Amino acid sequence: MKTWVSDSGQKLEIFIPFLGKYRPLSGRCCQTCTPKSWGGFYPQQLPSLGFRDAARVTEEDTRYRGWLVRRVCGFLAVWGWKVPADTPRDLPARICCSKRVQDVATGRSRGSSGDSESHRRWKEETLKILAEIQAPLSLLLLRLCNWALLKLLNRLFLNVQLHRGQLKMVLRAAKTPDVPLVFLSTHKSPLDGLLLSFVLFSQGLGVPRVAVGGQACSSRLRALLSRLGGIFLPSGMGQTPSNQDEGLPGAVLAVYIEEVLRSQQPLLIFLEEPPITLHLSAPAREWLALVYRAVRDGAVPDVLLVPVGIAYDIAPGASPREGAHGARPLGLGACLWAACRAVRRNFGCVRVDFAQPFSLQEFAAKNLVRQSRPGKPLEELLLPTILGTCPSQLDSKKAAIWSPGPATAAGLEAEEEILVTKLGLHCLSDGVSCSAVTAVAITSVLLLHKHREGVFLSRLMQDFAWLLEEILLGQHDVAFSGQLRTLVQHSLILLRAHLTFYHLSPIGDIFVVPEVSAEALSELGHHSAAILPVFASEAVGACAIRALLVEMLPFLGATVGLSSIVLSQDELHRKTLELLQLLPLNLLGLQPCQPLNYRSQDIVDKLLLCGVLEVEEVGAPPGPPSLCWGWVAQLSLRPPLLAGKGTREHGGVPVGGQGAGRVASKVLWHPALSPQPESKHWVCDLAPQPWGKDRPRAGMDFSDSDSESDVPKRCFKLSEPQGSPGFLLFLCRLLSPVLRTYARAVAFLDRPSWPQSEAAYMEALLQFLAEDGVEYPNRSLALSSLQTFKEMGVLEEVQTPAGPLLHLAQPFHSSVSRGKLEAFIQQFTQP
């Protein structure tokens, strides 16, 4: 608890949540896209309801008591779990009698629908397709496998954490009459499907139908998964471009999904395919399109969507060095062998988080109206700025979503394609934002981006506590609790294969050094990637500041310190928008529904709140330099930095000068914005939710007017937050892996022979990245660079009889143009 005194003499208290009873509130649905769902199913006492270990089954979880029961309580508990809803027994007959299937079958039989032989043939084909999609649940096999899975989870993990408040919220949503639940989950490990199926079954939510993605399975494994609740796309669907009518397989699949939703069986869809994370997969678009059609056609009145986040200390079976999935079918023997190998290793803890359920019908109604006027394509916005052919034409209202790929669900109109893609990216962002941060992720990001050369254990614990507080103040939860030393030691033990420890007896401390091998750096980068969505806004703002300093360098002299450098609000917004246009928002874990000008304003506000920037007061006397010269040297700028004659603007207004017209729910004074005791800064908390009094740092607005004609633009000075040395440099380094991959992808453009297929381009790019750097290439970042280059017009996709081929656009045949693009990216990149 911190207390400050306001101008009126009133004491203002800000509670900093820690690892005790109270936790940050996260996982609320989007108030822009689903305002009516905002107040539904969300218990106000959610933070104080505590946690439970789903894998810990005791005598209290059974109907019986006694000495013998305690020995077999796991088996008795699994045997007593209920199945609230199941597939109707007459499902095959209902599918064969459906109008959609009969219309397709009648069209295929060319008017011979009355022929009994033709009727028998298409009915047999329909049942064959249905058998490919699903198999009836085997309750005996289901209970035996869940009992075995209970034993396996207790061997693999220390605990499987669930938040009681989130469970209460989902259970309330499940009781909504005639409205089924669809869980949309992130995908971190091959174990995710079994884990989430076990969690939902054990907590009374039923046996979910798990939509299996692009991983090819052997016939035995597919038969087993089908009996446990797995459902599959029919042969050929999801691999080829589709149209409005996919024939009989598409009709059977659509009717099957409608029947599953009508029976209120929970449906589980994974939005991404590991190891390609933070990208909406083609199978996920297929399944989401089918769910949307069921609501659109009136098969069910509505669907409640529940984003799910999964956080592992160490994800079993997931490796950043894996190649493309689906190269070889996964067999039952391979799965059993992987499980046997996994039990010999400690994977730490796992946490499953459920975000607030929201209405699909409400989301569709809001977004179909809002997307009627799409923004300009990126090729017309950012490319002229990079090549210098015309002044910046950044459009802050550009739709920041990925266009659907060729494997998009069949038959959607253009606006429905965008809607399904936006829905998937939105839910993926919600799942990432509600995911808890693990201790391994915090330790990995500190070792990789702050202490690459090594660090004393005592210093590492200090930085761990500092970063933990920043994460909690940023309204993100953590997947651990306990004493600080125990937490750091726990994470170091899990990472010990990639670290070297030196015990220094004279000073009684331990020196921790990360290995410099490609495998070690790749493993640390894989774990630390979970921190980027937490500080994505601040990292974008920090890289924009770096680009501004690089841009100002030629106009500065060598006489005055940092305190004389003033950053204009307009210039900072310009650089921030350029970087936001370059990077897909889903890569940063940001929601795609907000216009970029709002996102840019939020970034500046967050930089002010965390103390990286401070407002330049009108008429304020110059103070001492607020940033150390060492950081400036690491930015590749010549220390000492220079006078104000090269700055773009001078002057400014106090906090609250201009604005975005937002409604403030309370007023706080934040000392990070005013290091001088006599200075007073009032900032507004624009969090619209009623629990805003418990959120000290969530979304502050520093403006009070929408007028831009009579209020001068604000200016900012750089600052170093108290207790957070090198915070700006740390934020810049968070985005460095992304920007380095983009820059190296530009250098690769002159290597391949054009034209070539996208698959060949990706494999050649990954090989180039592996040879060019010391780390293993990240397939997700390489795919993001390809998508960005296609949207910018650097690469053009041409349809040919052999399939779509990539061509290098004419302007980038020149090495000068490629150099301009690489320089544009390098200005944001921190070495």
DSSP per position, 802-818: TEEEEEE-GGGGSHHHH
Query: In whole angstroms, what is the distance from residue 89 CA to residue 112 CA?
Result: 30
Question: Contact 48/41 with Cβ under 8 angstroms?
Answer: no
Encode pLDDT of 305-363 as tens digits: 999 999 999 999 866 555 444 456 788 888 888 888 888 888 999 999 999 999 999 99
Residue 270 parent element (H or E): strand 267-270
Scan for tokens 């050929």, then name that residue. Answer: 236
In a domain, 2, yes or no: no
In a domain, 614, yes or no: yes
How many structural domains comprise the chain? 4
In a domain, 476, yes or no: yes
Which DSSP string corresponds to 114-182? T-HHHHHHHHHHHHHHHHHH-----HHHHHHHHHHHHHHHHHH-S-EEEEHHHHHHHHHHHTSTT--EE
Query: In whole angstroms, what is the distance from residue 583 CA to residue 537 CA?
Result: 12
Give the end of a domain, one of 691, 718, 734.
734
Q: For residue 170, how many C-alpha atoms fall within 13 Å in the half-sphere facing its CB?
A: 26
| Mean pLDDT, residues 413-432 | 88
Query: In whole angstroms, what is the distance from residue 438 CA to residue 528 CA?
Result: 10
Q: Flag the least confident range among 21-25, 342-346, 490-494, 766-770.
A: 21-25
Query: In whole angstroms, what is the distance from residue 314 CA to residue 485 CA?
Result: 19
Give the end of a domain, one of 367, 394, 425.
367
Is residue 740 located within the same domain as residue 730? no
In a domain, 472, yes or no: yes
Q: What is the pTM of this model?
A: 0.84
Is residue 101 classed as helix, strand or coil in its secondary structure?
helix
Is residue 550 located within the same domain as residue 592? yes
Q: At 473, which CATH number?
A: 1.10.10
Q: Flag the least confident range among 175-184, 394-403, 409-418, 438-447.
A: 394-403
Q: Which of 480, 478, 491 is nearest to 435 (CA)?
A: 478
Give bridge partners of residue 351 from the DSSP assignment: 161, 311
What pLDDT, on the 0 to 100 scale, is given for residue 108? 60
Question: The domain containing residue 680 runs over which residues?
Answer: 535-734
Is residue 231 classed as helix, strand or coil in its secondary structure?
strand
Give the end of a domain, one of 320, 349, 367.
367
Encode pLDDT of 105-122 as tens digits: 877 655 544 567 788 888
Query: In whole angstroms, what is the distance from residue 535 CA to residue 528 CA?
Result: 12
In a domain, 23, yes or no: no
pLDDT at 555 over 80: no
In a domain, 426, yes or no: no
Highest average pLDDT, of 54-63, 91-100, 262-271, 720-729, comes from 262-271
| Mean pLDDT, residues 464-476 | 89
Percent of the chain with pLDDT over 90: 37
In a domain, 589, yes or no: yes
pLDDT band at 257 (very low <50, low <70, confident <90, very high): very high
pLDDT at 410 over 50: no
pLDDT at 565 over 80: no
Encode pLDDT of 477-532 as tens digits: 898 888 889 999 999 999 999 999 999 888 888 999 999 888 899 899 999 999 99
Encode pLDDT of 229-245 as tens digits: 999 988 766 544 344 44
